[in-house]
Amino acid sequence: MKRDRLTVLLWLVLLLATIAVVARARYTTDLSAFLPRAPTAAQTLLVSQLRDGLASRLVLIGIEGGDARARADASRALRQQLATQAEFSWVRNGEVEAQQPDLELLLAHRYALSPRVDAARFSVDGLHTAIQSSIDLLVSPTGALFEPFIARDPTGELPELLEQLEVTGGPATTEGVWSSADGERAVLLAETRAAGSDLDGQQRALRAVNQGWQALGPRSATPLHLQLSGAGAFAVEARAVIQSEALRLSLFSSGLIVLLLWLAYGALPAVLLSMLPVACGALAGIAAVASGFGAVHGMTLGFGVTLIGESVDYSIYQFVQSPRPQARHRLWLTIGLGVATSVCGFASLLPSEFPGLAQLGVYSITGLVVAAVVTRWVLPALRSQDVLRVRSLAPLGRRVAPWLLQARRARAALVALAALCALVLFTHRGYLWNRELTALSPTPAAAQALDARLRADLGAPDLRHLIVVQAADADGALRASERVAARLRPLVAAGDLGGFDLAARYLPSRVTQQARLASIPPADELQRRLVQATQDLPLSAGRLRPFIVEAAAAREAAPLTRADLDGTSLAPAVDALLLRSGASWQALLPLRGAGSAQTVNSAKLRAALATEPDALLIDVKLQSDALYSAYLQQALWLSLAGLLLIVVLLWVWLRSLRRMARVTAPLLLSVLSVAAALVAAGVALTILHLVGMLLIVAVGSNYTLFFERPPAHAEGPLTLASLLVANAATVTGFGVLATSSVPVLQALGVTVSAGALLALLFAAMLAPVATLRSFAAAEP
Amino acid sequence: MISGGGQRGRAMRGFERCSAACAALLLLLGLPLAAFGNADLEALMSRLAERRTGHARFTEQHYVALLDRPVTTSGELFYEAPDRLEKRTLQPRPESLRVAAGVVEVENGRMKRSLPVQRYPELGAFIESVRATLAGDLPALRRYFSIALEGSPSRWRLQLTPLDQRLARTVSQVYISGAEAELLQIEVRQADGDRSVMNIQPLP
């Protein structure tokens, strides 16, 4: 009794410590935990940009329904609402008023920004041509907009700059605000102040949009619909789904399992005690992950469900088999071996380069070991044999045993089944695994499609193909990107490339700016040339005094810097394309494909970039898929190693090749069947299916170990009954998971619930006949 | 725009007989034309509405305060009832302005884009006044302008004054003159004194 008290005291102390760790742990739902750690600097940059860069802070807003006028009015009203909110750095919808700061900046720095500015532009001929074309523009349908500027800017740098900005991906405009190309949807773009990884901040921003929208009230006879997208929206949505699913599914499956155990035990206290090891295991798992990784991923918590499925088994075996002290040792040898097998399986996740998988490994190993230990030592210490009595389930065992004996007769069919499964897997060998990273995305396909549409409407680059150049400072990176741009222009002209963007378009390098400004002649010289150039033009030099004054001022002006861009739409454009990465700076040049197929001719690109050895051409999707594929491959090898470890462990422990084979064959066959069934159903397997297969081995190894050796005569029916209850609990727990709308949880649920059921069946069919007979044994 | 004559309304016929000579005289003398009645405006509009398609050459003089002399542009006009209109400038800078079902598009050698008409009030005024006149769409004209009609059916002039304050800040008046069911001249006067005069010659 004293020892029991000591055990309980120790357990309580450890439990409290665990709870303290769990309470202080940091929780994330950032899906990047399930992204591979990127090995190269450029890839690290890409992944971090996708996570925290400008792209992750953009909120894409669409307004549908009603007519164009109503949508435009709503767009204006919404922009006004949001522009005053602290959550957003800026909100744009293409309204002229909103573009005023851009216009002022472009006008003030037109000679530093315009690529047309060089010595020839300011020659007599150059001035003549430029002014003539400005006059032509002035009397063209859209010319009136530039009339107020013509005396200051007779060479037309401002219209040139504006056109350039619009050509490079400005959205279409309907009723004065941005819209989709067909005008059927008004679109707005906003940047949140919160970083992309600050999900609470992202959530506040999204709520602000929704509340602003609600505040507008109904605006037309036909209702307007608000659409929201963007990386932040996805992440917030994913977090909400994962949180609610993890909670809902855990509660639901716990409830079902409690109900199941209550039916089986007929005694509620025993049921509640059964859940104790599960809870302790889950807490310990979370604490271990929190200590080892710094933060616990929401997905790992969702995995808590899976732990219920397995760790409850230990107490089921303990309670149902209700062993006498001498048999208890034997029972725990078997369970212990099952735990060891599971640990071997999950240990294969630990070295994974996927932080998410490594977390699952730590969580599962800790959870299972703690659950087993609590079941073995704490439960008996807590449990007074007289108070807690579980109804004998021996009749259940006796009733089911004859069926298993019958099923065993069909064991030859298993050979055929194995062959069939192998055949299915072999014929699908080329595409068994989904090697695309998006396979893990919890974002529904419909939301991804909406995002793609809004992105296309807004002309936001999809960042699929990129060139990255690096330099010690920002200006160096800008210069390097200008050199690359010079190489790319011939490709665009030849139609091998649709176009490209670069930060230097909005913020040219210092050298380029200085060269442009230096090409402006001194005031008196400019005056002389201007008189000559305008001789036969209707715009006389006398009216162009403002031009001469401003050009002379520009000659002496300090170069444009990043700080000058603040408050304009050029600032985010530069920030998205010019990045600091540690001590160095990188300039990105997103490429657009040519033609309607948007193809990028990689061979010609590489040839053009041959003289720029530091320019790195990246196909983002290809790269990240390649990365994922490599890690999937690694996980596969690790799993095979884990399997080998299990085989060796069993061989050493059981000291018989034959017994080892008898224990492992049902597990392998079960894994094979589930994989073949999934593949035949058209499912491309992901890394989570692989985890599911490890779980089949972990759960099933308990069954096969019990089946492998006939129990003591009298305990046969109870052993079988405990296996049946344990299996029912596992299938229930994972069956609930299979209803999840999060693809990765769903994959896990389907794999394990089917696999556990099959593992029990196959274990029975391949068991020695003596075991099955002992299961059917009458009471002594 | 504007080729071929529509069938003359019966009501117009009598009116014309007695007033044509006077009107021609007044025109020659440069005296203000007698104002049409409301019924006459409706009659003119319904005659204009009979035209389904049109094709014309135009020459446009732009009088801009900043420029020492007017600048001339030229090109062609196309019209298809009720709401397709294209002004294709050929000289000196090829550019095409198209209106179809309320969407305004500008295309030049380098780019093609739809225009926010609010950003170009004088352009919007030009487009809507011409389109609605060609279509004989009196309600649309009345929505944007107060209308005065002068002259006779054989030589009439519409004076359109913007109702919208924002538009009135840039465009003070649009004059559209024509003979029978043909438009001959469109003049847009801007509030800052600039103006453009477009002369139209129908093409077969």
pLDDT at position A96, please? 64
Chain length of chain A: 780
Contacts of B98-101 spanning 24+ positions with Cβ under 8 A: B99/B127, B99/B131
- Reply yes or no on whether the pLDDT at B104 is more than 70: yes
State how far the Cα of B150 lies from the Cα of A167, in Å rounded to an integer.
45
Structure tokens at B139: 């309600």
CA of B72, closest CA in chain A: separation in Å? 8
Q: What is the DSSP letter of A390?
A: P
- Reply yes or no on whether the pLDDT at B1 is more than 50: no
Q: What is the pLDDT of residues A661-673, one digit of tens each?
A: 888 999 999 999 9
pLDDT at position A484, please? 93
Interface probe for A, chosen from B58, B60, B64, B86 (most Cβ of A below 10 Å), is B64
pLDDT at position A246, please? 73
Q: What is the pLDDT of residues B30-60, one digit of tens each?
A: 333 444 556 688 888 888 888 888 899 999 9
Any B CB within 8 A of A423 CB? no
Which of A302-316, B96-110, B160-174 is the most confident on average? B160-174
pLDDT at position B9, please? 39
Q: CB of B161 within 8 A of CB of B176? A: no
Nearest to A479 by CA among A572, A559, A554, A591: A559
The contacts of residue A712 (CB under 8 Å, 6+ apart) are A327, A330
Q: Which residues of chain B are within 8 Å of residue A144 when distances are taken between CB atoms?
A: 120, 122-123, 170, 190
Structure tokens at A676: 């073949």
Structure tokens at A549: 């004054």
- Amino acid at residue number B118: Q
State how far the Cα of B126 lies from the Cα of A534, in Å rounded to an integer.
31
Nearest to A253 by CA among A198, A311, A200, A333: A311
pLDDT at position B27, please? 40
- Reply yes or no on whether the pLDDT at A490 is more than 50: yes
Q: With cut-offs at 50, 70 and 90, classify the pLDDT of residue A131.
A: very high
**In whole angstroms, how far apart are CA B77 and each of B55, B59, B85, B197?**
6, 10, 7, 15
The string of DSSP letters for A13-73 reads HHHHHHHHHHHH-EEE--GGGGSPPP-SHHHHHHHHHHHHSHHHHEEEEEEESS-HHHHHH
Q: What is the pLDDT of residues B62-75, one digit of tens each?
A: 998 888 999 999 99
Q: What is the pLDDT of residues A425-450, one digit of tens each?
A: 999 887 788 777 666 666 677 777 88
Q: With cut-offs at 50, 70 and 90, classify the pLDDT of residue A478.
A: very high
Q: What is the pLDDT of residues A735-758, one digit of tens each?
A: 988 888 877 778 888 999 999 999
For A97, counting Cβ atoms within 10 Å of its Cβ (0-12 exposed, 13-18 middle, 19+ buried), the class is: exposed
* Residue owning tokens 């049902």: A666
- Reply yes or no on whether the pLDDT at B146 is more than 50: yes
- Amino acid at residue number A606: R
Scanning B40-69 for CB atoms below 8 A from A yields 60, 62, 64, 66-69
pTM surpassing 0.90?
no
Phi then psi dihedrals of residue A587, to 5 deg = -110, 130
Q: What is the pLDDT of residues A133-142, one digit of tens each?
A: 899 888 887 7
Q: With cut-offs at 50, 70 and 90, classify the pLDDT of residue B26.
A: very low
Interface probe for B, chosen from A116, A133, A142 (most Cβ of B below 10 Å), is A142
Any A CB within 8 A of B169 CB? no
- Amino acid at residue number A682: G
State how far the Cα of A607 lies from the Cα of A516, in Å rounded to an integer.
29
pLDDT at position B13, please? 37
Structure tokens at B73: 């542009």
CA of A306, closest CA in chain B: separation in Å? 56
Contact A141 B120 (CB under 8 A): yes
- Reply yes or no on whether the pLDDT at B3 is more than 90: no
- Reply yes or no on whether the pLDDT at B178 is more than 70: yes
Q: CB of A111 within 8 A of CB of A517? A: yes
Nearest to B109 by CA among B91, B130, B94: B94
Q: Which secondary-structure segment (H or E) carries A100?
A: helix A100-108
Between A566-570, A593-597, A600-604, the lowest mean confidence (pLDDT) is in A593-597
Q: CB of A360 within 8 A of CB of A349? A: yes
Q: Could you give the percent of chain A with pLDDT greater than 70?
A: 89
Q: Which residues of chain A are within 8 Å of residue B67 when distances are taken between CB atoms?
A: 135, 138, 538-539
Q: What is the pLDDT of residues A326-371, one digit of tens each?
A: 777 888 888 888 889 888 888 888 888 777 788 888 998 999 999 9
Q: CB of B2 within 8 A of CB of B47? A: no
From the centroid of its chain, how far is CA B53? 15
pLDDT at position A597, please? 60
Q: With cut-offs at 50, 70 and 90, classify the pLDDT of residue A596.
A: low
Q: Which value does ipTM take for this structure? A: 0.75
Nearest to A668 by CA among A414, A348, A352: A414
Q: Residue B67: which of A170, A175, A539 has the nearest Cβ? A: A539
Scanning A167-226 for CB atoms below 8 A from B yields 167, 170, 172-177, 183
Q: Which secondary-structure segment (H or E) carries A547?
A: helix A545-556
From the centroid of its chain, how far is CA A300? 14
Q: What is the DSSP letter of A685?
A: B
Q: CB of A465 within 8 A of CB of A477? A: no
Q: With cut-offs at 50, 70 and 90, classify the pLDDT of residue A153.
A: very high
A325 vs A215 pLDDT, higher one: A215
